[in-house]
Amino acid sequence: MNRIKYLDLFAGIGGFRTGLTNAGDIFLPVGWCEIDRYAQKAYRALYETEVEYFCDDATKIEPAELPDIDLICAGFPCQPFSVIGRRLGFADTRGTLFHEIVRLAEAKRPSYLLLENVPGLLNHAQGETFRTILTAIHELGYSLEWCVLNSADHGVPQQRRRVYIVGYLDQRLSGKIFPLAEVNGKAPRQIVPGRQGQRIYGTDGASVTLAANGGGWGAKTGLYFIDMNPDPLVTHEARCITARQDAGVCNHRGEHSGVIGARAVITPEREKVRQQGRRIKEPDEPMFTLTAQDKHGITYDGLVRRLMPLECFRLQGYSDEQFGKLVDIGIPEAQLYKMAGNSVTTNVVTAVARKLLAEIEKLKKEEENA
């Protein structure tokens, strides 16, 4: 079977690329496009790109300059469609970048398309936005399948629902990609690199809170100290951790209580916050969805701290080795958080790619046996 050559469009730090690589060597990157300079630097550090086509602006890609491709993968800019953002859709100029996918697909005629976006895309503008997207792709001759997939179902402890769209020119693939088989998720404790010590920073770079009486809210470290009892009785549900509309985390009748494992917390840097929904999850529940804007944390042994960049990368399925490469080239911490929040979850890409590949191989065998 010939290798599947692909263009990584709106590549970010290469979530699609990592996911496709993990799916098998049959996927061969031949070009990529990314406009953010920090993401470009990260992409080059993570992958061998010297012989590949590159353009920093999708609107400037000349199809004649592109090598032949079998697949376009793209997490086209999601802010215009996300319930997190302003929901301007195609009225926002970033929304028109979707049309670059259509333009390149029309010119290069790849056999497959693999696209990702936020689930808000499905009902934006009463469904007109999604209908426009499907129509534009279908008019090129592609059959389409789409499904909302949750990262928590594919081996990472994060609730991250995204709509995945698969297009193909071979009509025999119709209806064979979705649904996917799910795998067991992980609890937040599985991204914590060991028991947190008594220091502000662990030797592995993970920030921990000071375990000292009188630490207050940890203003100097940006972390919280919950239960000041030096010898708590550890229970499965710590009474000291409560979530209210007017106070995110407080020390409420928390004598002799603590936490086993880790719990997900959103906006951990705020002592008081007004928001709808929960800020703290149960020990075995997945993390909240990573975004480029929100800050996330975990409770651990009765303490609350922000997630470290390494842990955010783990939540998206990247290896520690990949994260280390970005640290080595000096990517700022703020950019690391942004990169993780903007990335596609690599595990989900791997799952979709493997299913697509399995169905392609079935068709090849049918042809050989015909």
Identify the helix (H) or strand (E) that includes residue 362.
helix 346-369
Least Cα distance to 265 among 305, 320, 230 occurs for 305
Instruction: For residue 143, count CB atoms less than 10 angstroms from its CB and return exposed for 0-12, middle for 13-18, buried for 19 or more.
Output: middle
Q: 3-class SS at 229?
A: coil
Number of Cα atoms under 13 Å in the Cβ half of residue 259: 25
3-state DSSP assignment of residue 310: helix
- 33, 55, 73, 78: the active-site residue: 78
Active site annotation includes 312: no
Phi, psi of 265 (to 5 degrees): -135, 135
Beta-strand ranges (E) seen in 270-340 are 296-300, 303-306
Phi, psi for 298 (deg, rounded to 5): -140, 150
Q: Report yes or no: 33 and 9 within 8 Å, Cβ to Cβ.
A: yes
Cross-sheet strand order for the sheet of 303-306 = 224-225, 303-306, 296-300, 262-266
Q: Could you tell me if 304 and 224 are in contact, meaning their C-beta atoms sit under 8 angstroms apart?
A: yes
Structure tokens at 275: 């928001």
**Exposure string over 301-325, b if 16+ CB within 10 A, otherwise e:** bbbbbbbbbbbbbbbbbbeeebbee
> What pairing do the DSSP bridges indicate for beta strands 262-266 and 296-300?
antiparallel
Helix 333-342 to helix 37-46 angle (10° resolution) is 80
Q: What is the CA radius of gyration of the chain?
A: 22
CA-wise closest residue to 149 among 133, 160, 138: 160
CA–CA separation, 63 and 196 (whole Å): 52
> What are the residue numbers of the active site?
78
